[in-house]
Amino acid sequence: MAGRKFKYTISIFVVLCASFFIGCEGNEFEEKNYAGEALGTSYHIKIFTGKDDLQVEKALDSIFDVINQSMSTYWENSDISLINKGVDSVKIDSHFKRVFQASGKIYQETEGYFDPTVGNLVNAYGFGPDSHLDALDDKTIDSLLQYVGFDKLKLNSESEIVKEDPKIYLDFNAIAKGYTIDVIAEYFESRGVQNYLIELGGELVSKGEHITKQKPFIVAIDDPLQEEGERTFQATLKLKNRGMATSGNYRKFRIDSVTGERYVHTINPLTGKPERSNLLSASVLAESCMLADGYATAFMALGLDKAKELSSKLDNIEVYFIYAENDSTKVYTSEGFQEVLISE
């Protein structure tokens, strides 16, 4: 699975404008912007509201703490960490349950290419919170694969995760960030905010429009081949009432010394080994950022051809794939994604 192992989420810039007041249908909306660090990355949020009692910073801190306590593999005493340690009778919360159920859905639809139990392999390759192995031969990989398989986990009626083997390591980092954005959006909805753009580590959710401009929010997808320190875009698009996530091996492609072809390596959760792929990044539009995040990860693991085939069968999923062909890059877009792209 591309996941956290080789998932370097493509940065997506949020187009921000100066803050001021604007009248709309008799109401005065103020543009408010929030930024900070959370979940090991940065966030930027823009909302338009006439309310002055939202206490957004306090709400964000609470949401981040709850998500970390539930699903952070970097918090030693989080629920997921205790489950990974084999602690019995850990009662999971509603956040964990929703992510668990969504993961099961994507796991089934991708025939195992999206698999949050790949955590032992993530750590072994050096992309997780635990120390990596110095050598990964076939025997070692086979020994780790026996602990991989989301169908080896069950959620019982007591809200406990039951593992077939206590050594199974669960890792939601390829989907929890998108879910966190959805939770923030739910908070805004509960407080009557109808126009907002939320970005966390490159993943996004929007609702309504940019009131100042009276247009949809405009976001951009980075060029995966840009050099360090550059800021070039592959595409810009209108994002309205959707979640968007991009997964990719950002600046981690290789160039074949003979053919000049660009390619990347992603971990196949079915074999436990990195596989060569010419799919450099996958951007996904979905009804929630959690689903967009999960599918984007899955598509990177599937590779271009299988990702195109699967995405065409999924409802309410639109994709934008950047892939390498010989010494250049090309793009595949679904019809729905094409409709929101902004022509240069």
- Enumerate the known binding-site residues for Mg(2+): 174, 293, 297
Could you list the residues known to form a binding site, using ranges: 174, 293, 297
Residue 281 Cα distances to 37, 45, 243, 275, angstroms? 24, 24, 17, 15
- Given a contact cutoff of 8 angstroms between Cβ atoms, the answer to whether 97 and 179 are in contact is no
* Strands of the sheet with 254-255, listed across from one edge: 254-255, 262-268, 273-277
Q: How far apart are CA 89 and CA 82, in angstroms?
A: 10
C-alpha count within 13 angstroms, C-beta hemisphere, residue 109: 20
Q: How far apart are CA 39 and CA 292, in angstroms?
A: 18
Residue 165 Cα distances to 79, 122, 231, angstroms? 17, 18, 46
Q: How far apart are CA 24 and CA 280, in angstroms?
A: 42
Secondary structure element (H or E) that encloses residue 240, with its range: none
DSSP-derived secondary structure letter, 287: S
* Strand extents, DSSP E, the chain: 21-24, 27-38, 41-49, 153-155, 161-163, 195-200, 203-207, 217-222, 233-239, 243-248, 254-255, 262-268, 273-277, 279-286, 318-325, 328-333
Q: How far apart are CA 178 and CA 234, in angstroms?
A: 22
Structure tokens belonging to residue 181? 């954005």
Structure tokens belonging to residue 322? 């950047």
What is the C-alpha R_g of the chain? 20
